[in-house]
Structure 1
């Protein structure tokens, strides 16, 4: 039986509050629809992966997109590094955290082996990271890491190395930030809800 707590940190997909870099070309409502689809794919992958606990760390309120089997914790106030740190602080035992921006994630990627590693790290194409796992959750490993900048991933990985943690590397994944990202990610996971929603929004209207 898995000992891992799987954490998903996410925002409620409300127009104007999520995926604002998708507007334009998409409207705020369309960007929120894409965010909801990405979140649904992410939660489906987490639901299918082995885990001791599945926790959604949410800014906002849960909606019909939330499948059964998840605990919901509110995000704390403050910058992203503090919110990620608090998410790990709510865990005992191994924990792996991901966001809602990689709908191409699979259950297999989330089934990590802790026997030889004290941490797991999933780098993102943009220089950040899409996954971070800690065998012994320590919020101090995240506090003060600059977020949403090109060096985020490098700084976070160095924190793990400096703490003496043997760190396993997960594959590099692309976050959905721009319309170009959306097209590339949908092509990687064509059977998902995100790809279907993107296709609906970009299908030419027949007149």
Structure 2
């Protein structure tokens, strides 16, 4: 059974941290991992990512609201009210709130999520990906700190292939994000767009997001031997599954 989408009302804090998620269905997520993974394996891995983010992200020291912006791939189509998938409800319990993505392209959906949250009354919004289950809270806190220095700022967390795993704003984006988001130049284009709008740009520490088989191998080589992360769903899945052997890690 799916639960209805509800507007949770006014912000409890001036800050919002939102996780952008895709539909956790085979063929709708982690498609660049297929092959060598099958669509079913890729979807199972993505759900493990979401479980880890949902469990690790809530932090008592973080003074802000937590949101999940989810994409609806049902026959209703984007922009129409739908039910939050049960899988996402399971991965993200309290204190997360849900917001349905609107728009066709990724750039349009990011723009809409930021705009929706600013309309609710938030003063700072940081958006993170769902491809880095190991993204540490200090990096997220650094994004909010970067927005404190000057009104009209953007914080960007570069990934390792020309994109970014995080974007933070203290003003609505109003078409800031390039329409072609899945390119090696999207970070540079976003910075250029921001400077044309006289936004102050602050870059955070580069960090890995897991898009390809090579990325997954890099992740496993760093974390596979660590005892302190064996409670992660991602670690358990990779450790117990022969797929990591197929990747040569």
TM-score, normalising length: structure 1: 0.88
Deviation sequence 1:32-65 (CA, Å, 0-9, x none): 1111111222333432261422111101424211
Q: How many pairs were matched up?
A: 203
Larger radius of gyration: 2
Deviation sequence 1:164-206 (CA, Å, 0-9, x none): 22222211112211121112123444513223222222366xx
- Root-mean-square deviation (CA), in Å? 2.1
- Of the structure 1 ranges 195-204 and 73-82, higher mean CA displacement relative to structure 2 is found in 195-204
TM-score, normalising length: structure 2: 0.74
Contact 1:128 1:150 in 2 (8 A): yes
Q: For residues 2 and 116 of structure 1, do their structure 2 counterparts lie closer, same or farther at Cα, with a shift above 3 Å needed?
A: farther
Counterpart selection for 1:133 from 155, 160, 168: 168
Residue of structure 2 in register with 1:182 after alignment: 216
- The runs of 5 or more residues in structure 1 that have no matched partner are none
Counterpart selection for 2:115 from 89, 93, 100: 89
- Secondary structure at the counterpart of residue 38 of structure 1: helix
Counterpart selection for 2:104 from 78, 103, 114: 78
- Of the structure 1 ranges 58-67 and 92-101, higher mean CA displacement relative to structure 2 is found in 58-67
- Secondary structure at the counterpart of residue 18 of structure 2: strand
Deviation sequence 1:126-146 (CA, Å, 0-9, x none): 11111000012333222x442
Q: CA deviation at 1:109?
A: 1.1
Q: For residues 197 and 94 of structure 1, do their structure 2 counterparts lie closer, same or farther at Cα, with a shift above 3 Å needed?
A: same
Displacement over 4 Å in runs of 4+:
none
Residue of structure 2 in register with 1:151 after alignment: 185
- The runs of 5 or more residues in structure 2 that have no matched partner are 1-11, 73-84
Deviation sequence 1:92-141 (CA, Å, 0-9, x none): 21000011111120111111313215221101111111100001233322
Contact 1:6 1:51 in 2 (8 A): no
